[in-house]
Amino acid sequence: MRPAWSVILLTTLIGAAQGLFLIVFALDVLRSPPRDFVVLSCGISLALLVAGLAASFFHLGHPERAWRAVAMWRTSWLSREVIVLPAFMAMVLVYAASESRVAGAIAAVLCLALFVCTAMIYACLKFLQEWHTPLTFVNFVLLGVASGLTLAVPLAVLRYPQFAGPLALAAFGAGALAWIVRVATLIRNARLRPKSTIQSAIGIAQPKIAQKAQGFMGGSFNTREFFHGKPKPVLGAVRWLFLALIFPAPAWLLGWGGGSLEVFLAAFALQFAGLLAERWYFFAEARHPQNLYYQSMA
């Protein structure tokens, strides 16, 4: 599939925002941190959610018709995401302003529902084997929580310094778990074999069939939207890049940071860059069956 940067930014930004909120709410329930730490964290979470929502509008051909996306909520995970996202944003705002743990609990439920909706947009597509797995949901949650925890560490340095160390340790553990599960997903996807072939598509059992041309020289919607167009070495480089940036690099900074705000911010920046690369690869890795035909333009 062709990665769309608007969707890449949407999913990574709101994932970090969701992870940050869940961590802060859990701390509020279990540890009663300073109020200014909770408010600051919720403010950052809201800012990320707004940025992600703004990025998503660049994916729309007619942004003025975005409100119509809610019409198919009975059958469409995208419509459900469009409903849950602003509801979650509103409850985060209410929680930050009111100090109500009831509002926080409702926001936490909406946060988890948003993870489900976002992941199921892709996991429900049976014809894309790379996405059609429970690991898609698990990866969205773990990567979001890991990035939220890594972001919580520098915020704790500013407003909750006595808990920056435990948060850094938790971020290390969450990052390691997310990395392991993502590697497991890569191994699974590498073993997949296409269910359709050129032979099955045209109903001919001849083993030696190869496409030579489509009958036209230029590109089309199909060649632009369902294939990334990058050579295999680029895919391999992006894969190794995100594997290095999601966990090993930020983990080293988290352990070496020693309470430094700048180092912890650098850890989050590196990890978020890795998340952007990971999400690009997530889309590029998916092999649309139509590419059996649209693999060559001339």
What is the set of domains in the chain, with CATH numbers? 5-202+211-292 (1.20.1630.10)
Q: What are phi and psi of 130, to 5 degrees?
A: -65, -30
Integer Cα distance of 69 and 118 in angstroms: 14
What's the confidence (pLDDT) of residue 193?
A: 84
**pLDDT by residue for the chain (298 residues), tens digit each?**
778 899 999 999 999 999 999 999 999 999 989 999 999 999 999 999 999 999 988 766 666 566 677 777 888 999 999 999 999 999 999 999 998 999 999 999 999 999 999 999 999 999 899 999 999 999 999 999 999 999 999 999 999 999 999 999 999 999 999 999 999 999 999 998 877 777 776 778 778 877 666 655 556 677 777 777 788 899 999 999 999 999 999 999 999 877 799 999 999 999 999 999 999 999 999 888 777 666 655 4
- Spatial neighbors of 187 by CB under 8 A, at least 6 apart, are none
CB atoms within 10 A of CB 19: 29
**DSSP alpha helix (H) spans, the chain:** 5-30, 35-56, 77-98, 101-123, 134-159, 164-190, 198-202, 221-225, 232-246, 248-256, 261-285
The pLDDT value given to residue 17: 98
What CA–CA distance (Å, rounded) separates 123 from 192?
A: 15
